[in-house]
Structure 1
Amino acid sequence: MMQWHYCVHKVRSPGFATCDGLEQALPAWSAAERLADRIWDSGLPPPPAGGAAEGGGCAGALAQLRSLTLRESVELLVVLDCRIANDCIDFRCVPRLNNMEWNMTTLQADDLRHHFLSQSAHAVRRVTRATFGRVRCEARRHDQFEWRDEPVRRLPSCAELQAQAAVFRERLSSYWRDLAQLLSLGATHFSQLLVPLAFERMGNHASDEQLHGWIKDMERVKDMLRTKLTGWVHDMQLASKQVEHYELEEDEDRPGHLIIRRPLLSKHRLRYQPWSLSFDDDFSALCKERQPEASQMFSLADELYAFYRVYWVTAAEYIDSFYGDDFKIVDEEWQLEDRSHDTLSVDTDCVQLLVNALDHPTCPLEDLPLEAVKQREQCREQLWDDVVQRSPHIPVTSYLAYTQRINVNLCLLAWMAVNSYGICQDVPFSMLQSVHDARCYFDSPDDQSCLQSNATDAICSVSRAILLLKCRDFSSIRTFYNCKFTSYAFPLYHSSSSVLYQELTEETLNYRKSLNNATLRYKDFKIDSLKPLEISFILINIIFRFSTAGVYMYLPQLRNLPGKVFLSFQITCMVQILCSEVVYRMAGVPDLPTAVLIDSALTLLSCIWLNSFCYQMYACVRHLRLPDQLLPVEVSQLFRREVLCAFIPWSIVCVAAVALEKTSKHHLIHSRIVVLAGISVSVAFNLVCLGLLGYMYLRTRCSMRQLEIFDNKKFASKKQCLFMSVKAIILSGIGIIIRIGFHQAQGIAQLVYYMHLVTMVQGPVLFVCFVCNGTTLPILKNRILLWWNPTDIPAGLELCSAAERNLPGETMNSLPFQNPSCSLLQYFSQITVSTLHCVKPSNKNGLYLV
């Protein structure tokens, strides 16, 4: 036994098996076994001086032990196991190594490299031996710890149990502190092995130029490995501190036994640490062009991590099996429901950065530009701010706002952030710290001072915890209890235990592909292939809106009160398009939040102009008075009043929204709600006015049916009904509500983009409905024809005397209505109907019903 443990001490690799194949070990563990053989066989010290006859070395020690009984041998083993661990913890078992900076000269110096590699490998052997020794020390001391007085079968008193529990808690705390120190010491020496070990395996045949780049890439892989190991060390240190807070109480079901109630932050959470770095799987193909030996580099890092994970951390969990008969271990569970369906409103630029990292991953061996590094850090801070705000949805009031905020599933966002290609590569994975931060976030929403991570790393920490523990639909890691066993080559003890692992199977790959597809839904808020089409649509929209406004400014017949209100609506829409689609999208000014405020404010102003227009329609029918019956002075006075009534509520809403958004970013949702509420109230007012118009029409129609009036004419043709329906939708503002409501459908960026293109068709539609109709278009045509031949009166307009038709052009233009027609009713029939549709001819004799 002494020779096995301390003279040879070649512990076999743990054996792994799963339900699918009990005889086939996982590839990572085979690599760990090969690496273990290399480490155990390298750096062996020379045999002790002297032989058995002189009583020196191992032979002399064994000769002195032949007289020991089995019990005395076991007691000696306990002492030696504990002594070896204590000596190593005091840094007497390994040399103090500085962080070796490898370059071409030092690596190619065989003596220096072999000496350093032998020294590091020997240190790893000593630390690993000390780790196993500490585990065996604790396991054998367990036999000396009795919870009941066996000779008399007497149950201990409560005070005795509490005293023994305190002793056990202190001893267990000391055990975990020792393991944490050994783990930290081993991690330091372990990372030192990577570069020289890799050079002997793959780098000693490279040219000087290739070797220079190879060393730089290996140092980057070394940093990545050190980041992973740092998370392990931090976890073990936290676990050692939490042991002191274990609660022990008597088990009522088993008198004389105790229950250990472990807190949430116990070493039980260590099993959620990944079993593999996934470097080789994720990055080898990406880095193949840059570094042909990238696959071997990452594979070696995986082997070192697997060795580290198996031989040390799994050995640390091994001690639990010794207390299963004496204790009932109860682990505190995180009392939080599944978060797989929660959504958050986050910054679109950050989501786009995450999507781009997954869609176009870069090789981690490349040096990221300083701007990209800062962008990732700012994105982590921004995402954490968004998560802290806990806004499940921020209303989208414009297409620009859709490109600013987006609703993302919480678990999907966590996966995107902590993915191997995400923005958390340089943040150590400390599972216990992650759980602590996540519980602080969910259980203490108003007090974030309990966070252990800083503001830059908090999103990574919390995301890892909620992804592994509270996202059932988003976690590919499964626990296979009773399907997997781990056997350790301890001569005195053999155990089987359930562990957690992640195997890269076809199912896992399909799962990862499905998550990538779900993530890419948020890709391309603007489709590059449709950019020419978008520019064309915007240009057509602007041209037709300017044309409609020009017609209303050119024709005197359309300069009545409703015409001026409609012209104000058109001008507002044109300014909105120029600000959002031209100035911001093409020039990039102002910043996006300000552009969203301007766009939302102009949308609200457009709705308010429609309020005035719809009210004028209602007033026209209600008071039986056509708009052109007003004098020009009265029209100007009423229009100024309409402008004042429009700008007062608009200013109030805009000032409130700007004040909320500029005061604090936490009030962003409130500012959007204020604007959306204003738009909703405005559209509701339009619907009320149009509803009253419809009600009065139906009531009048019902009354007219009681009169004995016979007419074969219909109210309107199908074309006219279609035009009036489109006008009603435009004037009501329902289209604006539909557009805003459609923008709330997050996660379907392409469809929202198509909807944005559809809104650009509104300009041509307005031109067709309000200009290209049976009344306005002939007037416009006649006015244009009069440019060429002022004396040519079009057919159908010869209703006045020859003397009136022969009036000079100046006198003609000075007439009140500026139209060759002399009949006021005919004037109304030609121009006012095109605007309000309040006048309908009932017969050919010139009678009109309002």
Structure 2
Amino acid sequence: MHAAGAVASVLALLVANGTSVLDCVCNHLINLTDHGRHWRSEISESEHQIWLEYCQYFAVHMLTGTCETLESPSAIVPTVAHLTASISSYRPPPPPAGPGEWDECAGAMAELRHLTWSQSRELKEELGCRIAADCIDSCLVQGFHDMEWNVTTLQTDHLRRPILSQSLYAVRRITRAILARGQCEQYHRPDFLRWDLNKTELRALEAVYRERLSNYWRDFAQLVSFGVAHVSQLLVPLAFEHVGNHMSEQKLHGWIKHAERVKDMLHTKLSGWVHDMQSVSRQTAYYETEEDKERPGYFIFRRPLLNDGLLNYQPSYLSFYDDISVLCQERQPEASKMFGLADALYAFSHSYWYNTAWFFNQRHAHYTEPVDEEWQLEDRSNITLSVDTNCMYLLANALDHPTCTLEDLPLEAVKQYEQCRMQLWDDMVQRSPHIPVTSYLAYTQRANVNLCLLAWMAVSSFSICQDIPFSMIQSVHDARCYFDCPDDQSCLESNATDAICSVSRAILLLKCRDFSSFKPPMKCGVRLYLDGSYSATFNIANLFGREEHQKATEIALNYKHSLISATLKYKDFKIDRLKPLEISFISVNIIFRFLTAAVYLYLPNLRNLPGKIFLAFQITGIIQILCSEVVYRMVGFPDLSTAVLIDSALTLLSCIWLNSFCYQMYACVRHLKLPNDLLPSEVTKVFRLLVLCALIPWSLACAATSALEKANKYYLIHSRIIFLVGISLSVALNLVFIGLVGYIYLRNKKSMTQLRIYSNKKYGSKKDIVFMLVKSVFLSGIGVLIRIGFHQAQGVAQFVYYVHITTMMQGPLLFVFFICNGTTLPVLKNRVLAWLNPNITIPEHELCSAAERNLERRRNEHSLAARSTL
């Protein structure tokens, strides 16, 4: 037979029946190795080549992980050892007809002995490619990877074990195909160690290399995707055989539900690998080759930022057993074994599959020097973001009070997680260190967070990102999109719901080394054998580069503690020990504001134009307090952003009423008119005009702000600035009017002194001056600016809370300084006394007219003169 035909014939025999013939050959050769040191003389050169390349690495394997996880007593090592033995021992059912498997195996070994050395080498180089190609075509349908387990299927041995057998055999085939695909690529790698290559040949060879490398990663991703489906499906039946086969049928229903949940968690962890490998396959088109000038004959591969080196950031082990099993012990007593099995399957997959890619890269790096693109992007790891407080509270609560993850989350919780992911991503894209606010309610809406702290809290265990597969290459791509062009949403590979998780992972791993422990813990290894036995645990070095470790550093914990104690603790402005005091102050404020408004309605002399303006100011303040302190704080309606918008709008309207009041005060002084000079009809007409002039700019500001906030969340800062600018201009105008009144007052006082006009009464007593100064502070709106200034403070939520309580004393102060003065209080007292007892004679109100008072005075004078005469 022709040499090429002989090799093809042997290849067809070895890969027949899903490589079961090759398994038989390997078992035969491995048995020979156990007979003694002279086994080499009993086999041919071709059999020896097959044993070296495709059989011996199944004889023993090493499982790696943290020493705490692998050291005895551990459920992980025995489970993986049993799994390894199962994969090596399980066989598919024999063919229904035709020659037996042993006949094919014997025929294959006979054909192998007739091959020459060159044919053996050709067979060795081509066998790996055929094994991988055969698995890519047929491994997907093996093992019922979409099986839904139930009580009947699990408890019935003749239903469960054939399915488990098929799945285990499929995992064995996939594992062999993954290793064989790497060997295939190793043998067909372009040879760059040639001195006679010119530039044209080099470019052609480079194109061939990129194409083969892309095909390798594509096939590797395809095989791993098959393996992920099968390994995830293995968890439930394996867990039943090792854990749940002694349960009652009643408990088994809940156990199956929990096992399915763990299976989904494991699949989420494994599925990120597939996306990474598919991305590497696409990125190989951007690899560039150039000759190394310092080492003639060697070449440099310049790789983009998104290269296969990022695969080293995928964690080599899970921590379900350590992190979650204790939390779920009460709900599911067998949780620790179930999570230990999930960790074991992950460690098995990483050791048998994922590390293959690492070894492949190491072999390729021997003749080439990879030079990776550096991340020459702005390092914003120290910036502070203004983010949604409720979402940060959710993250902090998940970290401080973790719960068991076996039960499916309620639909409301799932929606809350998705909304928080979208909200935090919007906040991150805005890149605003602090959003100006005009309401103390808005202070509870935003929390100022370090970018690294936000990333750590988002992607840590028990957080909002655990259902998002971890794809390192996609994370770095999204992070570059965020750092370089955050407004271009089209550059994101992740959708808006997952973007915060993707970007946070890359930021934490590549930019924020101080927020997570990247020095891996002590790693250990265990040798696994085909008979299910294993060696003792031994220490090993970190072989596979940098790895993510979820244990937080002291810096991260300190940042988190400062965030919780400074902001989140006061997010609702409800301190337990101050709650009675707060309620008392709010109640007193509302009561005295109502009293002040009632007095202005009750006394006729206060119903003039300034009185009506001040009454409008009081009514606006009452509505503002009722909306923010009663309706929102006690009822929870409306939502926080709308409550902030209403509160800010009413603050601006109050300042506009003060503008009208200050202008009328200036106009009276400027034109030497008293407020009571106008007739009631004229007062009503002018007041209506002032209301119209006040509502027009206020309505325009509210409409613009509402349109900005409702149109796009990115315009939140612009809407708040509109209110902030409007209030600042209003207060500035009040200060101008009050300043003019004060100037006129000082000028008139100086003029009267120069005219040497003396009187027993002073121009203004000290008490009157104090009252006027305090009223000026109230009317100017300076207190509003001071309050807003405190709301801009960073990290002083407790002081903002105290300022908030202090502002609740505004109602009593307004009553004291605007009602309890020498003009209004006597009138109010007399009116109240007359209302309580109509028979009481009020001084100077005994008679009905001035004529009667003059007549009575004359009578008194006449009586006195008559007495004097007498």
Q: 1:46 to 1:578 in 2, by over 3 A?
A: closer
> Is 1:368 aligned to residue 409 of structure 2?
yes
- Cα deviation digits, residues 295-322 of structure 1 (max 9, x gap): 2222221221122123211220222222
CA distance in 1: counterparts of 2:466 and 2:732, whole angstroms: 51
- Bigger shift: 414-423 or 691-700? 691-700
* Displacement after TM superposition at 1:45 (Å): 4.1
* Displacement after TM superposition at 1:67 (Å): 10
CA distance in 1: counterparts of 2:120 and 2:392, whole angstroms: 63
Question: Could you tell me which of 647, 650, 654 is aligned with 1:606?
Answer: 654
Residue of structure 2 in register with 1:333 after alignment: 374
Residue of structure 1 in register with 2:847 after alignment: 807
**Secondary structure of the residue that 1:500 maps to in structure 2?**
coil
Question: Could you tell me which of 623, 629, 633 is aligned with 1:581?
Answer: 629
Residue of structure 1 in register with 2:211 after alignment: 170
**Secondary structure of the residue that 1:501 maps to in structure 2?**
coil
Residue of structure 2 in register with 1:133 after alignment: 180
Tell whether the 8 Å contact from 2:139 to 2:170 is kept in structure 1 after alignment: no
1:461-610 aligned at under 5 Å gives the runs: 461-478=502-519, 499-503=545-549, 508=553, 511=556, 515=560, 518=563, 521-522=567-568, 525-526=571-572, 527=574, 529=576, 533-610=581-658
Residue of structure 2 in register with 1:119 after alignment: 166
Question: Could you tell me which of 287, 290, 308 is aligned with 2:349?
Answer: 308
Residue of structure 2 in register with 1:451 after alignment: 492
1:816-835 aligned at under 5 Å gives the runs: none
CA distance in 1: counterparts of 2:852 and 2:440, whole angstroms: 47
CA distance in 1: counterparts of 2:584 and 2:343, whole angstroms: 53
Q: Which amino acid aligns with 1:41?
A: A
* Displacement after TM superposition at 1:96 (Å): 4.5
Residue of structure 2 in register with 1:678 after alignment: 726
Residue of structure 2 in register with 1:835 after alignment: none
CA distance in 2: counterparts of 1:543 and 1:340, whole angstroms: 50
Tell whether the 8 Å contact from 2:90 to 2:169 is kept in structure 1 after alignment: no
- Bigger shift: 566-575 or 471-480? 471-480
- Bigger shift: 679-688 or 611-620? 611-620
Question: Could you tell me which of 275, 298, 310 is aligned with 2:316?
Answer: 275
- Bigger shift: 471-480 or 431-440? 471-480
Question: Could you tell me which of 233, 243, 255 is aligned with 1:214?
Answer: 255
* Displacement after TM superposition at 1:252 (Å): 3.6
Q: 1:726 to 1:354 in 2, by over 3 A?
A: farther
Q: 1:421 to 1:40 in 2, by over 3 A?
A: closer
Q: 1:293 to 1:117 in 2, by over 3 A?
A: same
Tell whether the 8 Å contact from 2:509 to 2:548 is kept in structure 1 after alignment: no
Q: For structure 1, which runs of at least 5 residues remain unmatched after alignment?
A: 19-23, 798-803, 821-850
- Bigger shift: 353-362 or 560-569? 353-362
Tell whether the 8 Å contact from 1:251 to 1:259 is kept in structure 2 after alignment: yes
CA distance in 1: counterparts of 2:65 and 2:630, whole angstroms: 63
Question: Could you tell me which of 231, 235, 255 is aligned with 1:194?
Answer: 235
CA distance in 2: counterparts of 1:271 and 1:777, whole angstroms: 80
Question: Could you tell me which of 772, 776, 781 is aligned with 2:820?
Answer: 772
CA distance in 1: counterparts of 2:358 and 2:656, whole angstroms: 69
* Displacement after TM superposition at 1:106 (Å): 2.2
Residue of structure 1 in register with 2:302 after alignment: 261
Q: 1:6 to 1:364 in 2, by over 3 A?
A: same
**Secondary structure of the residue that 1:465 maps to in structure 2?**
helix
CA distance in 2: counterparts of 1:46 and 1:567, whole angstroms: 89
- Cα deviation digits, residues 379-416 of structure 1 (max 9, x gap): 43444444455555433222343444555444433333
Q: Which amino acid aligns with 2:215?
A: S
CA distance in 2: counterparts of 1:356 and 1:554, whole angstroms: 53
Q: Which amino acid aligns with 1:777?
A: L
Identity percentage over the alignment? 60
1:646-661 aligned at under 5 Å gives the runs: 646-661=694-709
**Secondary structure of the residue that 1:42 maps to in structure 2?**
helix
- Cα deviation digits, residues 231-285 of structure 1 (max 9, x gap): 1112112212222331223334444432212122221222222333332333223
Tell whether the 8 Å contact from 1:194 to 1:222 is kept in structure 2 after alignment: yes
Tell whether the 8 Å contact from 1:354 to 1:416 is kept in structure 2 after alignment: yes
Q: 1:287 to 1:518 in 2, by over 3 A?
A: farther
The number of aligned residues is 783
- Cα deviation digits, residues 794-839 of structure 1 (max 9, x gap): 7xx6xxxxxx66414xx59999xxxx9xxxxxxxxxxxxxxxxxxx
Query: Taking structure 2 as the reference length, what is the TM-score of the superposition?
Result: 0.79
- Cα deviation digits, residues 445-498 of structure 1 (max 9, x gap): 443223323333333323333333334444443589xx9999999xxxx99955
CA distance in 1: counterparts of 2:91 and 2:337, whole angstroms: 34
Tell whether the 8 Å contact from 1:261 to 1:332 is kept in structure 2 after alignment: yes
Q: Which amino acid aligns with 1:123?
A: A
* Displacement after TM superposition at 1:40 (Å): 2.3
Q: 1:538 to 1:470 in 2, by over 3 A?
A: same
Tell whether the 8 Å contact from 1:274 to 1:502 is kept in structure 2 after alignment: yes
* Displacement after TM superposition at 1:638 (Å): 4.5
Q: Which amino acid aligns with 1:147?
A: F
Tell whether the 8 Å contact from 2:76 to 2:340 is kept in structure 1 after alignment: no
Question: Could you tell me which of 135, 155, 160 is aligned with 1:108?
Answer: 155
* Displacement after TM superposition at 1:291 (Å): 1.0
Larger fraction in helix: 2
Tell whether the 8 Å contact from 1:487 to 1:495 is kept in structure 2 after alignment: no
Q: 1:299 to 1:195 in 2, by over 3 A?
A: same
* Displacement after TM superposition at 1:219 (Å): 0.6
CA distance in 2: counterparts of 1:425 and 1:46, whole angstroms: 34
CA distance in 1: counterparts of 2:713 and 2:548, whole angstroms: 40
Q: Which amino acid aligns with 1:146?
A: D
CA distance in 2: counterparts of 1:189 and 1:813, whole angstroms: 111
- Bigger shift: 186-195 or 431-440? 431-440
**Secondary structure of the residue that 2:301 maps to in structure 1?**
strand
Tell whether the 8 Å contact from 2:421 to 2:500 is kept in structure 1 after alignment: yes
Tell whether the 8 Å contact from 1:262 to 1:332 is kept in structure 2 after alignment: yes
Q: 1:513 to 1:133 in 2, by over 3 A?
A: farther
Tell whether the 8 Å contact from 2:64 to 2:347 is kept in structure 1 after alignment: no
* Displacement after TM superposition at 1:120 (Å): 2.8
Tell whether the 8 Å contact from 1:352 to 1:523 is kept in structure 2 after alignment: no
Q: 1:87 to 1:486 in 2, by over 3 A?
A: farther
- Cα deviation digits, residues 309-360 of structure 1 (max 9, x gap): 2321122022222233422211123332222233444444444444444444
Tell whether the 8 Å contact from 2:145 to 2:233 is kept in structure 1 after alignment: no
Tell whether the 8 Å contact from 1:339 to 1:471 is kept in structure 2 after alignment: no
**Secondary structure of the residue that 1:567 maps to in structure 2?**
helix
Q: Which amino acid aligns with 1:180?
A: A
CA distance in 1: counterparts of 2:639 and 2:320, whole angstroms: 39
Residue of structure 1 in register with 2:30 after alignment: none
Query: Taking structure 1 as the reference length, what is the TM-score of the superposition?
Result: 0.81
> Is 1:88 aligned to residue 135 of structure 2?
yes
Tell whether the 8 Å contact from 1:249 to 1:260 is kept in structure 2 after alignment: yes
Q: Which amino acid aligns with 2:600?
A: Y
CA distance in 1: counterparts of 2:76 and 2:374, whole angstroms: 33
**Secondary structure of the residue that 1:259 maps to in structure 2?**
strand
Residue of structure 1 in register with 2:268 after alignment: 227
Q: 1:509 to 1:576 in 2, by over 3 A?
A: closer
1:681-696 aligned at under 5 Å gives the runs: 681-696=729-744
* Displacement after TM superposition at 1:623 (Å): 4.6
Residue of structure 1 in register with 2:16 after alignment: none
Tell whether the 8 Å contact from 2:570 to 2:801 is kept in structure 1 after alignment: no
Q: For structure 2, which runs of at least 5 residues remain unmatched after alignment?
A: 1-47, 95-101, 529-539, 858-870
